[in-house]
Structure 1
Amino acid sequence: MMLAIMGATGQTGGAALTAALAAGHAVKAIVREPNRAGALADKGAALAKADLDDVGTLTAAFAGTDAVYVLNPVPHAAGDVFAAAAKNGAMIAEAIRRAGVPHVVALSSSGAHRAEGTGIVRALHDFEQALRGAAPSLTFIRATEFMENWGSVLGVAAEHGILPSMRQPLDTAGETVSAIDVGRQAAVELARPHAGERIVNLKGPAEYSPEDAAQALTELLGKPVLAVATPRQEWEPGLIAAGLSASHARELAGLYDAMNAGRASFEEIGETRRGSVSLKQALAGLLA
């Protein structure tokens, strides 16, 4: 099979590319700057330049493939995250139609079946709506929260022994999955064309709490790490200070509100899969 993979220099796309090549598929890595993606070519992937705001380059990148992995990352600096994501989603869907892609695998999220009340996940609800009907075979991978999201506060944990958390209560375990497992599942689904629409709910090997993450870091760092709840009023200012737009910060905070309240859970339809990467393994990879 000839597969095309968006986000091949990122976490899930990179893992999907590695898994697809290992399975013997021909892979086209869709990147914005091919001259900075030499490592992908070294692995055996062909490189295709495309931009989300250029339906022509996207169409050319998708053309001639048996299946495409697509994702719609929300721009960090967007003044209106939903408008920006909707524009990108429409471009991707149109390119799929123009290229006549027979099978599409799209990265989505738990909670994407809800049109509101899930913060930034609403952008993925809209993405699913945009893609419906664009290809005769369509698979949505609705993944739970990524274990790698802890990466933004690992420096604080390593230096100060504190793990700030917007996931609360701190002792409440919830679903989380490694981006590596998401990419591996994407590679599996790319080779599973079908008629119509399929939903795959992807979880990690177990549920973990913020206190579990702190304990794993205690073992990995060889020093005590304590999970600490970040007060709600500090979420958005902290996210803006980290480089997000006010719109992005507001909706990301809204997602954590939804997760803490149980509104970002999986819809009880589709297939359910569990990955194999543990939280400790994912954290060890980030520290490395």
Structure 2
Amino acid sequence: MFVIMGATGQVGGAALEALKQRGIALRAVARDPVRAQGLGVETLRGDASQTESLAAAFAGAQATFVMLVPPYQARNVLAESRVIARSIAAAVRAAEVPHVVALSSVGAHLSEGNGIVQVLHDFETALADVAPSLVFLRPREFLENWAGMLPVAREAGVLPTGKAALDKRHEAVSALDVGRVAAELLLEPRPGTRIVDLAGPAPYSALDAAAVLSRLLDKPVTAVPSSREQSVVALVAAGLGADYAAKLADLDEAIDAGRLEFPAGGDFRRGMVTLDAVLQRLVGEG
């Protein structure tokens, strides 16, 4: 039995589907089991902040995929996320799960200067030695993050970005690749702790994304830089709390400064899903 957190989301859902295709017995953990009823697997209620319910959902698992979703509206995102991280770690220990794959991020090795990724640094710290076999999967930023900019691209023909240089290509990866690799890693228990770095098939720039959208939307789309203040205002308007929005802006600054790179010599992998494929899917869903 493999247990998957976040199975109703993009990464957890992709991991679940990849494992279903292999005929593996699965259990989905969901805060709202009703929402997960259509997944076609056993579903148990589990809240990341409630250790007891999460430990019950993990009980009997051969392997578990765990993830931490920072509370978007928290007044102090780091502090509230640390509470959740400790809860997940305690649940894994209580259930004595032998093999754990944890979703982290590039830059999680840094204790500061990495924006919202500091949440995942703290998550990794909480999970240290939590299981005999432990993998931290550290992807680059998600290509699906462009989804939030699609409405303004459709309506106004502009593609805002918090990145300073529109032509600078950054590594990014699709959530679908992240889920697929997470599924592969769940099938690879090994003693000790490993780190797996994951990027997409190629780096992309904001200009690349605008060019693809121009073709898909059949109208000119121009990439435009956003100041830190503009980015924070837009993120808050989209429903994020002020602290979370500020830390996302900090993340863009860290990427621009080159602080969010994979350390040399690690287990580095590339996904297969291209920017074109992701934007085509997002445009179709919109």
Q: TM-score normalised to the size of structure 2?
A: 0.97
Q: How far apart in 2 are the matches of 1:20 and 1:182? A: 13
Secondary structure (helix, strand or coil) at the match of 2:188 reads coil
Give the CA deviation at 1:245.
Answer: 1.2
CA deviation string 1:8-55 (max 9, x = no partner): 0001000000001112211101111111222102xxx11011111211
1:244 alignment partner AA: L
Secondary structure (helix, strand or coil) at the match of 2:126 reads helix
Selected match of 1:181 from 167, 173, 177? 177
Q: What is the match of residue 81 of structure 2?
A: 85
2:190 matches 1:194: yes
Unaligned runs of 5+ in 2: none
Give yes or no for contact 1:110–1:267 (8 Å, CA) kept in 2. Answer: no
Give the CA deviation at 1:233.
Answer: 2.4
Give yes or no for contact 2:70–2:81 (8 Å, CA) kept in 1. Answer: yes
1:64 alignment partner AA: G
Q: How far apart in 2 are the matches of 1:263 and 1:184? A: 27
Q: What is the match of residue 125 of structure 2?
A: 129
Q: How far apart in 2 are the matches of 1:250 and 1:28? A: 35
Give yes or no for contact 1:145–1:177 (8 Å, CA) kept in 2. Answer: yes
2:34 matches 1:8: no
Q: How far apart in 1 are the matches of 2:219 and 2:239? A: 29
Give the CA deviation at 1:232.
Answer: 2.4
Give yes or no for contact 1:51–1:57 (8 Å, CA) kept in 2. Answer: yes
Selected match of 2:116 from 115, 120, 129? 120
Give yes or no for contact 2:8–2:35 (8 Å, CA) kept in 1. Answer: no
Q: What is the match of residue 159 of structure 2?
A: 163
1:162 alignment partner AA: V
Give the CA deviation at 1:269.
Answer: 4.0
Unaligned runs of 5+ in 1: none
**Aligned residues: CA RMSD:** 0.9
Q: What is the match of residue 268 of structure 1?
A: 264
Give yes or no for contact 1:177–1:204 (8 Å, CA) kept in 2. Answer: yes
Q: How far apart in 2 are the matches of 1:150 and 1:280? A: 12
Q: What is the match of residue 253 of structure 2?
A: 257
Superposed, 1:22-33 pairs within 5 Å as 22-33=21-32
Q: How far apart in 2 are the matches of 1:66 and 1:258? A: 37
Q: TM-score normalised to the size of structure 1?
A: 0.97
Q: How far apart in 1 are the matches of 2:199 and 2:145? A: 15
Q: How far apart in 2 are the matches of 1:268 and 1:39? A: 42
Q: What is the match of residue 40 of structure 1?
A: 39
Q: How far apart in 2 are the matches of 1:232 and 1:55? A: 37
CA deviation string 1:140-162 (max 9, x = no partner): 00000000000001011011111
Give yes or no for contact 1:198–1:270 (8 Å, CA) kept in 2. Answer: no
Q: How far apart in 1 are the matches of 2:265 and 2:83? A: 28
Q: What is the match of residue 69 of structure 1?
A: 65
Secondary structure (helix, strand or coil) at the match of 1:109 reads coil
Q: How far apart in 1 are the matches of 2:70 and 2:23? A: 31
Selected match of 1:217 from 213, 220, 233? 213
Give yes or no for contact 1:109–1:143 (8 Å, CA) kept in 2. Answer: yes
Secondary structure (helix, strand or coil) at the match of 1:168 reads coil
Structure 1 segments of 4+ aligned residues over 2 angstroms from their partners: none
Q: What is the match of residue 96 of structure 2?
A: 100
Give yes or no for contact 1:5–1:28 (8 Å, CA) kept in 2. Answer: yes
1:91 alignment partner AA: S
Give yes or no for contact 2:108–2:121 (8 Å, CA) kept in 1. Answer: yes
